[in-house]
Amino acid sequence: MEWRERLWAGLGLGLVLVALAGCSLGHGRPRPGAKGDGVYHVVRRGENLYRIGKAYGVSHTELARANAIEDASRLEIGQRIFVPGGKRSLPVNLITPEHAATDPPPAGDFLQGAGVFIWPLASGTLTSTFGPRGRSFHDGIDIGAPPGTVVRASRDGEVIYSDALRGYGNVVIVQHAGGYATVYAHNEENLVDAGSKVRQGQPVARVGRSGRTSGPNLHFEIRKDNVARNPIYFLPSQTVQRAKDSPT
């Protein structure tokens, strides 16, 4: 048993050293096991610290600090990024849009009123619009509604993601024809699994306040080729009221 005791003593010393190394956040290179809870993310094409942070619900500044990255624009494909608090590696490309476009879609894509997309909630209050919000950008719209309200698929498609994520809470992502995808977040409960086909109007979730949100509401996105677009351009004439605006 002596060898085993020595092994344990050695391991203990190693753990102490590793723990000490973990105290100097922001200095030196990150080492596996040298930090608290978290996960390593391997950088893929098109990803940046902002998108990776968004997918994992960690600010890009925190990621930069945890990985001693001074120039956030110089991320290399294949580079390993330590994500504090991360539980498992996530498909960043699926979860976060590449960027957002504020201009109206080209004429051919201008679908408002065409009935291609429907509102995911029968009624509600538009509590936050698409566009710049403080120092970040809101990739969708928020619709306030009572917790438990049924969220419906905006269009026929296939569920490509249904899980809980920091920030987004319970989120469902549905892929549609023509390079479109819709995102339904902060759900109390997801009602569909990844891989299942959904029909327009089919319940996919229930409104909740999971993730980073101030109250029960649906965060809804429409993406075209992974670029976030203003959903208002694609939805039929409003059936939800704008917060503060008086209904007409």
Using the rule CB under 5 A, is 219 a contact of Zn ion? yes
CB of 106 to Zn ion, least distance (A): 25
Separation of first and last alpha carbons in the chain: 82
**64: helix, strand or coil:** helix
**160: helix, strand or coil:** strand
Using the rule CB under 5 A, is 47 a contact of Zn ion? no
CB of 168 to Zn ion, least distance (A): 9
Contact 117, 182 (CB under 8 A): yes
Pick the closest to residue 65 from 95, 24, 94 (CA basis). Answer: 24
**Listed ranges 38-46, 139-147, 193-201, 231-239: which one lies at the site for Zn ion (CB under 5 A):** 139-147
Using the rule CB under 5 A, is 221 a contact of Zn ion? no
In whole angstroms, what is the distance from residue 147 CA to residue 208 CA?
5
**Listed ranges 6-14, 88-96, 118-126, 138-146: which one lies at the site for Zn ion (CB under 5 A):** 138-146
Count of residues engaged in binding Zn ion, rule: CB under 5 A: 2
**Listed ranges 41-49, 62-70, 212-220, 222-230: which one lies at the site for Zn ion (CB under 5 A):** 212-220
CB of 138 to Zn ion, least distance (A): 6
Q: Kindly tell me which of 82 and 161 has the beta carbon lying closer to Zn ion.
A: 161
Q: Kindly tell me which of 47 and 142 has the beta carbon lying closer to Zn ion.
A: 142
Angle at 45 between CA 43 and CA 135, to 5 degrees: 75
Angle at 87 between CA 83 and CA 90, to 5 degrees: 75
Q: Which residue has the tokens 């096991």?
A: 33
Q: Which pair of tokens denotes residue 179? A: 């390079």
Using the rule CB under 5 A, is 142 a contact of Zn ion? yes
Residues that bind Zn ion (CB under 5 A): 142, 219
